Structure 1
Amino acid sequence: MNASIQRAPWLPIWAGLCASLVGIGLARFAYTPLIPALINAHWFASSAVVYLGAANLAGYLVGALIGRPLAKRWSGATVLRGMMVLVSLTFLACAWPLSVGWFFAWRMLSGVAGGVIMVLVASVILPHVSATRRGLASGAIFLGLGLGVAASASLVPWLLEKGLQQTWLGLAALALLLTFSSWAGWPGEHGPQPAAPGLPQPAVSPAILVLFGQYALMATALVAPMMFLVDYVSRGLGAGSHAGAAMWGLYGLGAIVGPVLYGLLADHLGARAGIRLVLLAQLAALGALLVSHDLRVLGAAALLIGSFPPGIVPLALARVHQLVEGHARQSATWSRATVSFASFQAIAGYAYSALFAATDGHYGALFGVAAGAVVLALLVDMLLKERQAMSLIANSSAR
């Protein structure tokens, strides 16, 4: 093991946290509070601003597809450093709204970097972590997602007081600072590589297919509250923008707690049991959005729902490690899972927007679809149990 890692075992974790914070936490979530400012400053028309927001999700899917091929050509650590620099450049470029095409290209590149980071970051770091601590370690790595949500609720509004261009420049400076602070923290080049060429593709067992299906359904479920919770509280319930901001703050607090909490669940309960428990909790929280108008109840639901988007990542990753042996096979399976997640997340974003327009702004329909996706994810897990039982019966009969 790398001597620097022996001296400072937290350095790779810090590098991973910075990568997820820059590539996904800031690159994606910091855009949400910028939407009103972009419209009010007349940088782009309101329809174009929404379209530009979707560019990051489309780029994320591309990044999830090309992450492993990039790691075959260069080392994982080199690619991750490059992606963090790329995100910093996208923030810098977005400070000048030269055209919709210019802005779209840079927003899409930020999504590409985020997808590559999501595919590679755990594969580069976790082989250097004890197996009994990997759930907690992956939770710490993906804490960056939650910190990005929190920053979008606190840092971005503060930067916006300085001006819209200054906000983009501030985000670029922060991303560069995090990039350079983590530069030496990545594991050495001679360590296990995230994608060794020439190895066979991992076998796709029923359990892995179930995980892919669950992960896709979880992506579908999390998009609705992520996109519409604040608008629902502020406009749908008439509670005003301050109440909406408070809900987003609680959502961000949950996002900070989620990765580490869910990682501990994976370590102590097992990944599959942890996923079941989390899905049941999310179903209860979405139910609260459907039946209650009490802001205190909705605040508790926002806290719980906010833990879900970043928290399910270490749980799903732990499930991959549970089902697949060998570092290269685990990396390939995780890449496929990320592609499944990214695909359904992008599709869900457009589908929810279309449903919102078709129902004349009926928030209950959106949250109902999200709850239905959670129910399906639980049913898919039960289907695997049934298939395993039938397989055991068949084996017994054969004997």
Structure 2
Amino acid sequence: MNDSAQRYKVLTAGVMNLILVMGISRFAYTPLLPAMLENTELGAAEGGWLAAINYLGYLCGALIASMISDLALKDRLYRIGLFFAVVTTAGMGLTENFWLLSFLRFLAGLSCAAGMLIGSGLVLNWLMRNNHRSELGIQFSGVGLGMVLCAAAVELMNTVFDWREQWLVLTAIGAILLIPALGWLPRPVPVPVGLNQKSMEDSPPSAAFMRLFAVAYFCAGVGYVVSATFIVALVDELPGLEGKGVWAFLVMGLAAAPSAILWDLIARRVGNLNAMIVASLLQAVGILLPIIEPNLVLTVLGAILFGGTFVGIVCLVLTMAGRFYPSRPAKFMGKMTIFYGIAQIIAPAITGLLREYNGDYSAGLYTAAGAMVLGALLLIMAKSRETATEQQRLKICEH
């Protein structure tokens, strides 16, 4: 097989991996949540807790991934994680017990970390080792494509299958995706010490920058998780928009698919921090639009703004990790993942409780939008700190 064909196979494996672990294992819960709430004993609070537990699993998996450097071990965990993604998806359709569902969502979170972090890293490692561009944008298109797949599948299945059968159909789709995700990604080949090794000097930011940036990323986690988890249930409850929630989720996925590439291009022109500030403010608007005036046009526009920013923000942070710590980007991402992950555990649980108390999701969405605005302000402060630090470095160099 020629080099170009092999590259496309590896990239396809990466995309299929993210469609499976993010689209099916993670995001199928969002369009299926309304049917589960309607046909089981689960309430909105339990729905929120299940989402929080899923993110707890992801956080644990992310921390494990950040501590592993052995490529062979990463490869094994990636492949085990993909099997878990399929098995836990099947399990969701086989029980109504809250504690069993919690266990399954936790394992699904672990599998998501294996695919999202370890799997993407393995693909990028192969690309760099074989002198190809590290195409992160193509990788992350799988997140949006997975959302589109789940939304379309649930919409088509709603009138034919109940919620249990829909989980099982998605399991079958996941089993098919498993074949290229595993088979088309070559096992990593150890590279002898000293071969093709480039000297990479880290340039870490100041401690003040790190504190501001970490809290801003926590805010981004809050803004992301509330809409990503509850958008279908939220839209279905809006007057005149009953049954349109899945379509909003589908539009969100369509907007998310090219967003990593788009924000990479924007960041090249205006800088990573400026791009993150703009994306955060646009996401705040996208979160609020469906509840400011419940109509289809604003709901679709809100879905486009949200879907077009949340993946971009994560990719911009990954890019900054490579900029600050080129020799060990996992150090920066490990710290940031803790803050982002804690937000994803807390916010869904609180939103579910607010929904039960207030009767709607508006309080949770206002909180999420407020968090994004606060995050943008913190990023502006962090930018000013970074500028001051850079000027200080230049003065030192001049002397």
Do they fold alike, i.e. is TM over 0.5? yes
User: Post-superposition shift, 1:182?
Assistant: 2.3
2:344 is aligned with 1:345: yes
Per-residue deviation, residues 56-102 of structure 1 (Å, max 9, x unmatched): 22211221122244564843222211110111111233332174333
Contact 2:204 2:325 in 1 (8 A): no
Contact 1:119 1:338 in 2 (8 A): no
TM-score (norm 2): 0.83
Contact 1:86 1:110 in 2 (8 A): yes
Contact 2:256 2:308 in 1 (8 A): yes
User: Post-superposition shift, 1:270?
Assistant: 4.1
Equivalent residue number for residue 370 of structure 1: 368
TM-score (norm 1): 0.83
Q: Structure 1: 5+ residue runs without aligned partners?
A: 194-201
Range that drifts further, 310-319 or 121-130: 121-130
Contact 2:81 2:114 in 1 (8 A): yes
The DSSP-based 3-state class of the residue aligned with 1:29 is coil
2:211 is aligned with 1:214: no
Equivalent residue number for residue 225 of structure 1: 227
Range that drifts further, 57-66 or 258-267: 258-267
User: Post-superposition shift, 1:30?
Assistant: 0.4
Range that drifts further, 160-169 or 369-378: 160-169
Q: Which amino acid aligns with 1:281?
A: L
Q: Indicate which of 87, 94, 97 corresponds to 1:96.
A: 94
Separation in 1, partners of 2:52, 2:179:
29
The DSSP-based 3-state class of the residue aligned with 2:257 is helix
Change in Cα spacing, 1:113 to 1:374, as seen in structure 2 (3 Å) is: same
2:30 is aligned with 1:32: yes
Separation in 2, partners of 1:267, 1:392:
19
Count of residues in correspondence between the two structures: 382
Q: Which amino acid aligns with 1:147?
A: L
The DSSP-based 3-state class of the residue aligned with 2:26 is helix
Equivalent residue number for residue 240 of structure 1: 241
Pairwise mapping of residues 138-217 of structure 1 onto structure 2 (< 5 A)? 138-160=136-158, 161-190=160-189, 205-206=205-206, 207-217=209-219
Contact 2:215 2:378 in 1 (8 A): yes
Change in Cα spacing, 1:156 to 1:187, as seen in structure 2 (3 Å) is: same
Contact 2:19 2:143 in 1 (8 A): yes
Q: Percent identity?
A: 22
Q: Structure 2: 5+ residue runs without aligned partners?
A: 193-201
Equivalent residue number for residue 259 of structure 1: 260
Change in Cα spacing, 1:71 to 1:92, as seen in structure 2 (3 Å) is: farther
Equivalent residue number for residue 118 of structure 2: 120
Contact 1:133 1:267 in 2 (8 A): no
2:281 is aligned with 1:280: yes
Range that drifts further, 248-257 or 4-13: 4-13
Contact 2:325 2:331 in 1 (8 A): no
Q: Which amino acid aligns with 1:21?
A: I
Contact 1:118 1:338 in 2 (8 A): no
User: Post-superposition shift, 1:209?
Assistant: 4.5
Contact 1:5 1:187 in 2 (8 A): no
The DSSP-based 3-state class of the residue aligned with 2:161 is coil
Contact 2:203 2:323 in 1 (8 A): no
Change in Cα spacing, 1:234 to 1:189, as seen in structure 2 (3 Å) is: closer
Equivalent residue number for residue 65 of structure 1: 63
Q: Indicate which of 36, 42, 47 corresponds to 1:45.
A: 42
The DSSP-based 3-state class of the residue aligned with 1:186 is coil
Equivalent residue number for residue 197 of structure 1: none
Change in Cα spacing, 1:392 to 1:204, as seen in structure 2 (3 Å) is: closer
Contact 2:235 2:244 in 1 (8 A): yes
Contact 2:20 2:174 in 1 (8 A): yes
Change in Cα spacing, 1:382 to 1:192, as seen in structure 2 (3 Å) is: farther
Q: Which amino acid aligns with 1:304?
A: L
User: Post-superposition shift, 1:376?
Assistant: 2.0
User: Post-superposition shift, 1:279?
Assistant: 2.1
Contact 2:47 2:352 in 1 (8 A): no
Q: Which amino acid aligns with 2:344?
A: Q
User: Post-superposition shift, 1:189?
Assistant: 1.9
2:105 is aligned with 1:107: yes
Contact 2:16 2:181 in 1 (8 A): yes
User: Post-superposition shift, 1:103?
Assistant: 2.8
Q: Which amino acid aligns with 1:173?
A: A
Separation in 2, partners of 1:77, 1:287:
41
Pairwise mapping of residues 266-305 of structure 1 onto structure 2 (< 5 A)? 266=267, 269-286=270-287, 288-289=289-290, 291-305=292-306
Separation in 2, partners of 1:70, 1:358:
43
Pairwise mapping of residues 123-134 of structure 1 onto structure 2 (< 5 A)? 123-129=121-127, 133-134=133-134
